[in-house]
Structure 1
Amino acid sequence: MTRKNFPLRISPQLYAALERWAADDLRSVNAQIEYLLTRAARDEGRLKPTPEPPPEPSQD
């Protein structure tokens, strides 16, 4: 998947909060922002959910 680069201006306080949150979730700040925006867009019906992958066949 290709990604679009763009500048983002946010307050230092918000950036610091995102940095802490990203560290708690073991993500980069960029990945955390993308995760939050994706979740918000899905919650608002602006982005279609990605289909779940089919389950792995059992090894029984």
Structure 2
Amino acid sequence: MAEKKAYPLRINPQVLEAVQRWADDELRSVNAQIEYLLREALRKQGRLKPPDEKTND
């Protein structure tokens, strides 16, 4: 598994609360939910390569 990097995030309290509720509904942590949402948005926009196309840069 690739190494993960920590990144501080400033987020509106109302947005964080909504993400927390969504994460709870999906049995994820807030961090995992944010990562999931980012990955899905990137995939839908064609900005994230599928796992089989990754390169070792």
TM bin, normalised by shorter chain, reads 0.7 to 0.9
State the one-letter code of the partner of 2:3.
Answer: T
1-side partners of 2:33 and 2:47: how far apart?
A: 19
Number of residues of Structure 1 aligned to a counterpart in Structure 2 = 51
Stretches (4+) displaced over 4 A? none
More helix by share: 2
* RMSD over aligned Cα atoms: 0.8
Unpaired runs of 5+ residues, structure 1, are 52-60
| Cα deviations by residue, 1:7-57 (Å, 9 ceiling, x for unpaired) | 000100000000000000000000000000000000000001234xxxxxx
Between structure 1 and structure 2, the one with the greater Rg is 1
Q: Which runs of 5+ in 2 are unaligned?
A: 53-57
Task: State whether structure 2 residue 37 is matched by structure 1 residue 33.
Answer: no
Distance 2:8 2:46 in 1: 25
TM-score (norm. length: structure 1): 0.80
Counterpart position of 2:50:
49
- Partner of residue 12, structure 2: 11
